[in-house]
Amino acid sequence: MSGALEHIRVLDLTRVLAGPYCTMILGDLGAEVLKVEAPGGSDETRKWGPPFQNDVSAYYLCANRNKKSITVNLKTDEGIQTIKELVKESDVVIHNFKTGTMERFGIDYDNLANINPRLIYCSITGFGETGPYKDLPGYDFIIQGMSGLMSITGDEASGPQKVGVAIADILTGLYAAVGIQAAIIERNQSGKGQKLDLSLYDSAVSALINIGSNYLMSGKIPSRLGNHHANIVPYQTFNTMDGEMVIAIGNDNQFKTFCTILGKKQYSEDDRFRTNPARVANRDILIPLIQEILVTKPTSYWLDLCHENNVPCGPIQNLQEVAEDPQLSARDMFLETEHPTAGIIKMIGSPLKLSRTPVTLRYHPPNAGEHNEEILQSIKTNLNQE
* Contact of 87 with 175, CB cutoff 8 Å: no
Residue of 219, 172, 179 whose CA lies nearest to 196: 179
pLDDT at 130: 97
Q: Is the pLDDT of residue 355 over 70?
A: yes
- What DSSP element (H or E) covers 299? helix 299-308
7 falls in which pLDDT band (50, 70, 90)? very high
How many Cα atoms are found within 13 Å in the side-chain-facing hemisphere of 13?
Answer: 28
When pLDDT is averaged across residues 318-335 and rounded to a whole number, the result is 96
Q: What is the mean pLDDT of residues 45-74?
A: 96
Give me the catalytic one of 28, 43, 91, 169. Answer: 169
Checking if the pLDDT of 380 tops 90, the result is no
Summarize the confidence of residues 93-122 as an average pLDDT: 97
Q: 322: how many CB neighbours lie within 10 A of its CB?
A: 13
Strand 56-57 to 52-53 pairing: antiparallel
Under DSSP, the state recorded for 257 is: H
Average pLDDT score, the chain: 96
CA distance 275 to 268: 8
Cβ 261 vs Cβ 305: under 8 Å: yes
Position 1 scores a pLDDT of 63
CA-angle at 314, arms to 308 and 319, nearest 5°: 140
Phi first, then psi: give them for residue 237, nearest 5 degrees. Answer: -85, 150
Q: For residues 308 and 316, what is the distance between their CA atoms, to the nearest angstrom?
A: 19
- From 25-29, 88-92, 226-230, 349-353, the region with the lowest mean pLDDT: 226-230
CA separation for the pair 170, 246 (Å, rounded): 25
Q: Are 375 and 77 in contact (CB under 8 A)?
A: no
* Confidence (pLDDT) at 379: 87
The CA-based diameter of the chain, rounded to the nearest angstrom, is 83
Read off φ and ψ for residue 132, nearest 5 degrees. Answer: -65, -20
Residue 71's pLDDT is what? 97
**Cβ neighbours for 246, distance < 8 A, ≥ 6 positions apart:** 227, 236, 237, 238, 313, 314, 315, 316
**How many residues can be counted in the chain?**
386
Q: What does the pLDDT look like over 227-279, one tens digit per residue?
A: 999 899 999 999 999 999 999 999 999 999 999 999 999 999 999 999 999 99
Q: Examine the pLDDT at 384 and tell me if it is beyond 80.
A: no
Average pLDDT over residues 155-173: 95
Q: What is the mean pLDDT of residues 215-223?
A: 95
- With cut-offs at 50, 70 and 90, classify the pLDDT of residue 36: very high
Question: For position 20, what pLDDT does the model report?
Answer: 98
Predicted TM-score (pTM) of the model is: 0.92
Please compute the mean of the pLDDT values over residues 68-78 and round it to a whole number: 96
DSSP state of 355: S
169 is catalytic: yes
- Rg of the chain's alpha carbons, rounded to an integer? 25
CB 304 within 8 A of CB 251: no
Q: What average pLDDT does range 6-30 have in this prediction?
A: 97
